[in-house]
Structure 1
Amino acid sequence: MEYGRYAAAIAVDKSGVWGEVPTHHRYQSVLTIENMGMSRITRHPKYYLHDGSVSIHVAGTVFRVHKYFFERESEYFREGFRTAGPEEDGQSDQAAFRLDDVKISEFERLLWVFYNPQYMYDEQPIDHWITILELATRWKFPSVRDLAVRQLQKLDMKPVERIITYDKYNLDKSLLLPAYILLCKQPSRSVDDGKRLGMPTVLKINEAREYAQRFAAEQGCPSPTSADAEDQELVEILKDVFDLS
């Protein structure tokens, strides 16, 4: 579908009267709108779908998408649509359901999940999936959140970055065992990494390193370090230190 051909500028005045600005008059119309104290609203060039069933306003842009996805997947949107007054129930552009504290580019990434084929999932970078994880967590899209986690698990993240991200969104700590193992085997960490990880995590990693070094010594290693412990033993040590089942 050629979504771009549906792009149009929308003008809304203080009385709530909206009108479509013809493309060939758009520049002149925008100047007139600004002079009249009106704000410019734009239909999204890709995600303003003419068969969409709900209008959503994000940072001066109106998206027209399928309400079904939001009601099916998100408790936040189900409740939001149910309790919205007629002036913002999303039934029309004039009464678009408003989302604050989100960027257009971020909302595009969430919509991308619903409107793109699954084979494209593995082509997306880390920051793409972190944005989706953030919005899915905030707006209670559990299936989308699980998808974001599965995709992040496939990507090569630095151990500190993975730990910080997973802790921020309260993900299953057992998913972090490979990252914990890498940190245990590193000879040292930077002060900055320590600050970013936080004292509780740093203390537990240090505790695990001490246990691993002791185990390596018991196995007869002449100059033992935590890196000398076998991975399987480190897994058991880390499970105990981080209280993982």
Structure 2
Amino acid sequence: MDHDNHPALPPDSPLNSFLNDGMLLLSMPGPRLPSRDPTYYINDGNSVLLVENTLFKVHRSVLTKDKSAFETMFQLSGETDSARSDSSMTTTQEGESDDNPIRLQGDTADEFRALLWALYAL
């Protein structure tokens, strides 16, 4: 059978639809990499947090000023860190880098940005 002599597939052919859907999947962008917040990604900050798809790098001392949930979170983190220091693990701790941020769920990046504005204004 000579393939060069076959007519083109009709536009409404299921095979043509399947091929087009496959092409769409190949051309769809993958997940976006998190972006750094333009205001609250502070170079000398010591805690990296990810809210939605935005990275914030802020000072732990600022987050714990108001005796919020952050104080408890960092106390638990400190206990875990001291337990890990006894072992020979050399992995980056959660919140120390963009690659391993503390992930916050339940808030939008805008809500977290507003909280940071208030905390830094104190």
For Structure 1 versus Structure 2, the TM-score category normalised by the shorter chain is 0.5 to 0.7
The amino acid across from 1:41 in the alignment is P
CA distance in 2, matches of 1:105, 1:38: 20
- Displacement of 1:88: 6.3
Secondary structure of the residue aligned to 1:40 is coil
Match runs of 1:93-112 below 5 Å: 93-112=98-117
CA distance in 2, matches of 1:94, 1:87: 9
1:79 corresponds to which of 72, 82, 95? 72
Structure 1 pair 106/88, CA: closer, same or farther in 2 (3 Å)?
A: farther
Secondary structure of the residue aligned to 1:72 is coil
Using CA pairs below 8 Å that are at least 6 residues apart, which structure has the higher relative contact order?
2
Query: Would you say 1:50 and 2:43 are equivalent positions?
Result: yes
Structure 1 pair 111/88, CA: closer, same or farther in 2 (3 Å)?
A: same
- Displacement of 1:109: 0.9
- Displacement of 1:71: 2.5
The amino acid across from 2:114 in the alignment is R
2:54 corresponds to which of 50, 61, 70? 61
- Greater share of helix residues, 1 or 2? 1
- Displacement of 1:87: 6.6
User: Number of aligned pairs?
Assistant: 83
Q: Is the 8 A contact 1:71 1:77 kept in 2?
A: yes
Across the aligned residues of Structure 1 and Structure 2, the Cα RMSD in angstroms comes to: 2.5
Structure 1 pair 87/58, CA: closer, same or farther in 2 (3 Å)?
A: farther
- Displacement of 1:95: 1.6
TM-score, with structure 2 as normaliser: 0.57
Structure 1 pair 92/72, CA: closer, same or farther in 2 (3 Å)?
A: same
Structure 1 pair 104/75, CA: closer, same or farther in 2 (3 Å)?
A: closer
Q: Is the 8 A contact 2:65 2:119 kept in 1?
A: no
Match runs of 1:20-39 below 5 Å: 37-39=30-32
CA distance in 2, matches of 1:100, 1:74: 19
Q: Could you tell me which runs of 5 or more consecutive residues in structure 1 were left unpaired when the two chains were aligned.
A: 1-33, 119-245
Q: Could you tell me which runs of 5 or more consecutive residues in structure 2 were left unpaired when the two chains were aligned.
A: 1-27, 81-90
Q: State, as a whole percentage, how many aligned pairs show the same letter.
A: 30
Q: Deviations over 1:96-133 (max 9, x none)?
A: 111111011111111111333x7xxxxxxxxxxxxxxx
